[in-house]
Structure formats: C-alpha cells, structure tokens
Amino acid sequence: MKLVIIAGTGTEVGKTWLGCQLALQLGRAGFRVAARKLAQSFHPSELGRTDAELLAEATGERATDVCPAHRWYPRPMAPPMAAESMGLPPVTLAGLLAELSWPGLAHIGLLEQAGGLGSPQAVDADGTDVVKALAPQLVVLVAAPGLGTLSSTRLALRALGSQDAVVYLNRFDPADELHERNRRWLAEREHLEVLSRPGDLGRRVAQALERPAGRPGPSAGSDRPADAE
C-alpha cells in the first residue's frame, strides 16, 4: 500500500472535502482506497458529519475504522488538548501510531491530519512529526488561495524539507486577481507544484505512486477553478 498524507496550512482549509474527492476519484480509476485519521475533535453538533464519517462515506468503510471510537473528542480544539480537557490520558504519537492499521487489500492509504501542519497531533508531536514517522509517498498540502497563503504555504513546505509534496489551492477562482497572483508566485517564483482541481490531483497522486518516495514530480500550475466550497 502507498501512503498519501493530507495536511493543511491551517484549519478549515478543506482537507476533509479534498480527501473525500480524492478517494472518489481514485476509486473510479480502479484503486482500492482506505482513509484514516489518527484522532478527531469536533463540536458535538457535528456528530453525524464528522471528518471520519465523511471519509468513511467516500471509501465505503466504517467511521470507527477511519478513526478509532476512543479517539473521537467532542471538543473543538486540537485533539491532545481536547483529551486533556476531558480528563482523558495524554495522547502520544507512539500511542496513535500503534493504533494505525490499514486493510490488507488497499492500494492507497489517505491519512488526514488534524488542523494545520504545525498543529499538535499529540502531546509530543505535530503534523511534521507524523510525516517524518510515516514517510509517505506524497504530502498534499491544502491551502487557502487568498491573502496570507504565501507565508503559510512557504513556511509549511519549509518545515517538510525534502518530502515530496504538492500544494492544493482549495476554493481557487482564476477570475480573482489575488488568487491567480498567489498561484503564479508559488508556481513560478517558488517553483512549487500547485494544483487547484481534484481531477488534476487524482492524476498526480496516481503518478506519485509509480515513483520512488522522495523523488519530486514536475512543476505544474493550474488556472482552472476548483470544484470545492
């Protein structure tokens, strides 16, 4: 099985939506896809449409397979902080990774992180630590297309180092001058691979699975609108 980590420059950038779209795209292409989330925190009103439940719908799995039931924290804060506020044992990276399992027949595993790349995933680890521990074939860094994205995207990629990564500008509108200038800056000045359509990302992921881990793909930019909200 090949691993793709879906990370973000921050929270609410559309990681779950994109993960679902990517799972559906790859499934239609003939890949068997599984999704996982090490832990999830949410507002109680979101129950029934939590990240794990949405990813389960897209992959045909059970929500408790996507994220173990005891790692569901009904508090809208970082998972280790939510666990602490509920009086639960500390969430450690070793504990989360020990619980991570994948179906044996899966071709592709999608692991969605909580919050942004620098957000605590455990009391002793953030998103970059998870990437280092799991060494995925590809990291998809989901970013907003508007003001502030140049800083957050560049800092996140700097933290990833040599890890093979692609930037996905969610909610990108080519008619918006700022969106387009941000895309061009990242693609042309920073020489980053920047995409904005789920279909393009699906093809890029399939391409990454054919290459040894760590070998970068071609630089690309898309000026077409995303289907996302």
Strand, helix or coil at 34?
strand
DSSP calls for 108-119 = EEEEEPSSSTTS
Instruction: Return the H-helix or E-strand segment holding 3.
Output: strand 2-8
Q: Give the pair of three-digit tokens for residue 22.
A: 């990517």
Q: Which residue has the tokens 């559309």?
A: 14
CA dihedral angle for residue 161, residue 163, residue 168, residue 174, rounded to 10 degrees = 60
The catalytic position among 2, 15, 37, 132 is 37
Residue spans of alpha helices (H) in 86-229: 93-99, 127-134, 149-160, 177-184, 198-208
CA pair distance 153, 157, nearest whole angstrom: 6
CA pair distance 120, 86, nearest whole angstrom: 17
Is position 37 annotated as part of the catalytic site? yes
| Count of positions (residues) in the chain | 229
Which residue(s) pair with 36 in the sheet? 111
Q: Which amino acids are annotated catalytic? A: 37
